[in-house]
């Protein structure tokens, strides 16, 4: 029996190779996974042309995944550096990379990334349109927009972010409900500008079926972009954001009718007390589709530390239903991140995702923590360093401050409670002088 997409296969009762791999990674039965994919509650972004892919699942009951953004810009047009970032992201166990390149030889970098990457690759074709077509935004035609999408899909990208939900009605909401930060989505702002300049409907909304044709052909997962995501805590959960979310729910059902897999993108900035309600709202309005969030950043005052504000929001979001976290680096809002920024962002996002998996009761999530606790109780520093989420940093900190006794650290020394409790419970003598 033939199938077009992972969702089509799941609905026909076919177990694909990708489903078998993901089920093994997630420690769940492949039949349970197949049912979740059939219902749209889990996606396996796996373009037919991405031959290096080691597939991952995103959605209900699965480990929270993280995405890393990278790519060239006009001010930082160094393909070799972005390739190096991609290698780091893979080594640091990110499950996805989004190529947000918006200048220069974008296809050259994209194809190199796909050729080397076992992790899923996403793009935002709208970013590439001006550079690829070498035309001013206003002059780009509907057919040309779709030609860019087709190029990305045929190259092998596993998911694409397209801001289909910002139609004329939503744009009107934006204009009538003044925000502090207007539209902060780069793709969303470009589409808003095109709509205003041409007095036209959003082409990806008006001709949505053309987008579905492409995604079905290559089995590209649509990440329905949130053009009206809040760019400040002041703007969260406002009429434009909610109206767009309702539209995304409608577009989700239309995609599922074509067996096209869907993720929903969510807020970027949001006060801590609003996060849980927004996760519930998305799952309700978008029928349980996987939710992909940028942060959310829980305060706007921390340039240079936004990997922390993002990790706080990401942990709360994922614990309350978000399935996929986009990393944020210390360079957010300031500049294109370098390698060190990227590493800090990845580790922060992985901590948030893991903390959420513990809260969600994901099978095996606590095992890692229990192993670390056992190593601490045993005062086994080599094992602690081995288990650390960032072993390199942990080893460096340990080496920078050598204790008098190797089985202690310079915080407590001979007063180490772990060491002393172990001795006392083993009936040994104790001296702390």
Tokens standing for residue 23:
């089920």
Instruction: Flag whether 307 is marked binding.
Output: no
Instruction: Flag whether 98 is marked binding.
Output: yes
Instruction: Flag whether 50 is marked binding.
Output: no
Instruction: Flag whether 164 is marked binding.
Output: no
Instruction: Flag whether 286 is marked binding.
Output: no
Backbone torsions φ then ψ of 172, nearest 5 degrees = -65, -40
Instruction: Flag whether 265 is marked binding.
Output: yes
Instruction: Flag whether 38 is marked binding.
Output: no
Instruction: Flag whether 127 is marked binding.
Output: yes
Instruction: Flag whether 292 is marked binding.
Output: yes
Instruction: Flag whether 163 is marked binding.
Output: yes
Separation of alpha carbons 122 and 90, rounded Å: 14
Instruction: Flag whether 405 is marked binding.
Output: no
H, E, C per residue of the chain: CCCCCHHHHHHCCCCCHHHHHHHHHHCCCHHHHHHHHHHCCEECCCCCCCCCCCCCCEECCCCCEEEEEECCCCCCCCHHHHHHHHHHHHHCCCCEEEECCCCCCHHHHHHHHHHHCCCEEEECHHHHHHHHHCCCHHHCCHHHHHHHHHHHHHHCCCEEEECCCCCHHHHHHHHHCCCCCCCCCHHHHHHHHHHHHHCCCCHHHHCHHHHHHHHHHHCCEEEECCCCCCCCHHHCCCHHHHHHHHHHHHHHHHHHHCCCCEEEEECCECCHHHHHHHHHHHHHHCCCCCEEEECCECCCCCCCCHHHHHHHHHHHHHHCCCCEEECCCCCCCCCCCCHHHHHHHHHHHHHHHHHHHHHHCCCCHHHHHHHHHHHHHCCCHHHHHHHCCCHHHHHHHHHHCCCCCCCCCCCCHHHCHHHHHHHHHCCCCCCCC
CA 61 to chain centre: 16
Instruction: Flag whether 249 is marked binding.
Output: no
Separation of alpha carbons 117 and 90, rounded Å: 8
Which residues neighbour 10 within 8 Å (Cβ) at sequence distance 6 or greater?
Answer: 19, 34, 35, 37, 38
Binding site members for [4Fe-4S] cluster: 409, 412, 416
Binding site members for Zn(2+): 269, 333
Binding site members: 69, 98, 127, 163, 185-187, 226-229, 265, 269, 292, 333, 409, 412, 416
Binding site members for substrate: 69, 98, 127, 163, 185-187, 226-229, 265, 292
């Amino acid at each position: 029996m033939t199938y077009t997409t992972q969702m089509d296969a799941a609905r026909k009762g076919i177990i694909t190779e990708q489903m078998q791999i993901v089920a093994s990674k997630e420690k769940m039965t492949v039949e349970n996974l197949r049912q979740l994919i059939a219902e749209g509650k889990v996606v396996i972004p796996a373009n037919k042309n991405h031959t290096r892919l080691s597939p991952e699942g995103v959605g209900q009951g699965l480990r929270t995944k993280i995405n890393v953004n990278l790519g060239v810009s006009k001010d930082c047009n160094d393909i070799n550096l972005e390739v190096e970032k991609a290698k780091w992201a893979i080594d640091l166990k990110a499950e996805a990379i989004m190529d947000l390149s918006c200048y220069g030889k974008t296809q050259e970098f994209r194809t190199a990334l796909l050729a080397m990457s076992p992790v899923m690759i996403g793009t935002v074709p709208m970013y590439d349109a001006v550079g690829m077509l070498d035309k001013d935004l206003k002059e780009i035609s509907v057919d040309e927009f779709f030609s860019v999408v087709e190029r990305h899909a045929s190259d092998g990208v596993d998911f694409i972010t397209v801001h289909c939900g910002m139609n004329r009605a939503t744009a009107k909401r934006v204009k009538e409900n003044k925000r502090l930060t207007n539209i902060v989505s780069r793709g969303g702002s470009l589409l808003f500008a095109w709509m205003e300049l041409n007095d036209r409907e959003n082409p990806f909304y008006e001709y949505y079926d053309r987008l579905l044709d492409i995604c079905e052909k290559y089995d590209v997962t649509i990440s329905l972009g949130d053009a009206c995501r809040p760019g400040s805590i002041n703007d969260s959960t406002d009429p434009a954001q909610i109206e767009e979310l309702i539209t995304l729910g409608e577009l989700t059902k239309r995609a599922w009718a074509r067996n096209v897999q869907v993720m929903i993108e969510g807020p970027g900035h949001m006060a801590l007390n609003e996060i849980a309600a927004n996760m519930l709202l998305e799952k309700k309005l978008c029928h349980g589709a996987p939710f992909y969030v940028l942060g959310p950043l829980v305060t706007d005052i921390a340039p240079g530390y936004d990997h922390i504000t993002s990790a706080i929001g990401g942990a709360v979001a994922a614990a309350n239903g978000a399935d996929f976290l986009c990393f944020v680096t210390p360079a957010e809002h300031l500049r294109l991140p370098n390698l060190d920024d990227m590493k800090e962002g990845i580790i922060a996002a992985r901590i948030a995702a893991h903390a959420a998996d513990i809260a969600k009761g994901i099978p095996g999530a606590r095992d890692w923590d229990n192993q670390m606790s056992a190593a601490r109780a045993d005062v086994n520093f080599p094992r602690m360093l081995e288990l650390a989420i960032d072993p390199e940093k942990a080893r460096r900190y340990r080496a920078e401050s050598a204790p008098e006794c190797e089985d202690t650290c310079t915080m407590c020394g001979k007063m180490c409670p772990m060491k002393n409790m172990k001795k006392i419970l083993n009936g040994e003598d104790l001296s702390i002088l």
